[in-house]
Amino acid sequence: AQSVAQPEDQVNVAEGNPLTVKCTYSVSGNPYLFWYVQYPNRGLQFLLKYITGDNLVKGSYGFEAEFNKSQTSFHLKKPSALVSDSALYFCAVRDPLGGYSTLTFGKGTMLLVSP
Amino acid sequence: GAGVSQSPSNKVTEKGKDVELRCDPISGHTALYWYRQSLGQGLEFLIYFQGNSAPDKSGLPSDRFSAERTGGSVSTLTIQRTQQEDSAVYLCASSLGLGRGWNTGELFFGEGSRLTVL
């Protein structure tokens, strides 16, 4: 099975502070990992992905994520949060050898950045 | 079009009525997916199309749900005899087909169709 967990329903951070949104995954093989962002009343937008190679991946809007195989984690990070980063963030996983057709998403974490 | 287009953006219906939701994927994307987003439930996979065939229908919650895709493009998700628990946002996504980045799984989403069953 492939699954992903986002342990926090909501993360609050002040503008200018670093932010972390947590994600852990479970697959039988090597995972493909993704972060998506959803702004109010909009569809999901791709932020970044890890397929192979460097464990630290950089994506859109200054976000980055670190793949940690030993901890089965793929936490999303940003050095300095903006109010405009406030949105719903989804982590997703796919096991390319698992026979799954598509991504499995977490339940989402609401990020609220206060001025 | 430039992005994935879904219609209607909002649909309010009465319990027991049938509804149709439409998705027009990005031109050239052979893979198409339907997801359901309910409050507090994240994204629930419903069905996947490759071309006009649906090799994975495992997420359809009941036989009241069906979907088809014609011409390798537009897809319609049909919900018969709607129930209140069907209320959700239905998201469509598309991606490049097999051998062209599909295996990295990057999906492009529409803005969704919000269904409210009274």
pLDDT in tens, B73-114: 999 999 999 999 999 999 999 988 654 444 566 789 999 999
pLDDT of residue B100: 42
Q: How far is B109 from chain A (nearest CA, A)?
A: 6
Give the largest CA-CA distance in chain A.
45
Mean pLDDT for A72-94 is 96
pLDDT of res. A99: 64
Mean pLDDT along residues B47-61:
89
pLDDT at B104: 66
> Do the chains contact at A34 and B106, CB–CB below 8 Å?
yes
Residue A94 to residue B33, Cβ atoms within 8 A: no
Contact A19/A81 with Cβ under 8 angstroms?
A: yes
Per-residue pLDDT band at A82 (split at 50, 70, 90): very high
**Among the listed residues A20, A31, A103, the one whose alpha carbon sits nearest the alpha carbon of residue A67:** A31
Hey, are the CB atoms on A102 and B45 less than 8 Å from each other? yes
Encode pLDDT of A14-73 as tens digits: 999 999 999 999 988 888 999 999 998 888 999 999 988 899 999 989 999 999 999 999
Please check whether residue A18 is in contact with residue A77, taking contact to mean a CB–CB distance below 8 angstroms: yes
**Cβ neighbours, 10 Å, residue A74:** 27
